Amino acid sequence: MRLVLLGAPGAGKGTQAQRLLDRYGLTQVSTGDMLREARAHATPLGIEAGKYMDAGQLVPDDVVVGIVAQRLAEPALAKGFVLDGFPRTVPQAQALDSMGVTLDAVVNIVVDSEELVERLAGRLTCNSCKTTFHRRFSPPSVAGVCDRCSNNLTVRPDDDEQTVRSRLEVYARQTLPLVDFYRGKGLLLEINGTGKAPAEVTAELLLLLDPLKR
């Protein structure tokens, strides 16, 4: 199964992607993780990408497309994958088509914008294992310490409230057209995630995707 997850920052794409991996034996392709890793290692690509990420703007298409093309060419992805964070623009979607990638479905998780701000501004991320927590919804057992590996938790620069609102504005302007693009291709599946626990969203996802299993 080859899937794309759409949704604004904070909609829960990463959480749902992980659950789909476990369910269907897929590989997650997260451009956000790849870009943050490159930035953390201060590679030329990471430094360039970080300028846009910290300002709440999209990383240029040519940078992202190059990363994804390399990743999708890896043999491990022949069994199927979940694309998380790509494509984010119609040109990126067209680039994916030009790679010869055939998708089974594109899932759009829709969440109210104010709920997204609350989710993101309170998010904490482990510097080591990348596990995420939330000050309100899923706090760690010990403040500032990861339950899984005991390393420090921090707020990512792109989760600052002002930056979050900027990211949502960018998403609405540049990424929402993908919904119409994939609806036109007959690939779009939509789920309303507002006010729902992750488990509820997962249950709805599986009802839509189980019939598509190859």
Q: What amino acid positions are annotated as catalytic residues?
A: 13, 88, 123, 156, 167
Spatial strand order of the sheet with 2-6 comes to 27-30, 81-84, 2-6, 105-110, 188-192
Tokens at 206, concatenated: 């599986």
CA distance 189 to 5: 10
| Inter-residue contact 126 to 208 (CB < 8 Å) | no
Sign for the pseudo-dihedral over CA of 178, 183, 184, 186: positive
Is 110 within 8 Å of 192 (Cβ atoms)? yes
Given the DSSP bridges, would you call strands 123-126 and 132-134 parallel, antiparallel or unpaired? antiparallel
Measured CA to CA, the distance from residue 36 to residue 54 in angstroms comes to 11
Buried b (16+ CB within 10 A) or exposed e, 64-83: bbebbeebbeeeeeeebbbb
Place of tokens 């993908």: 178
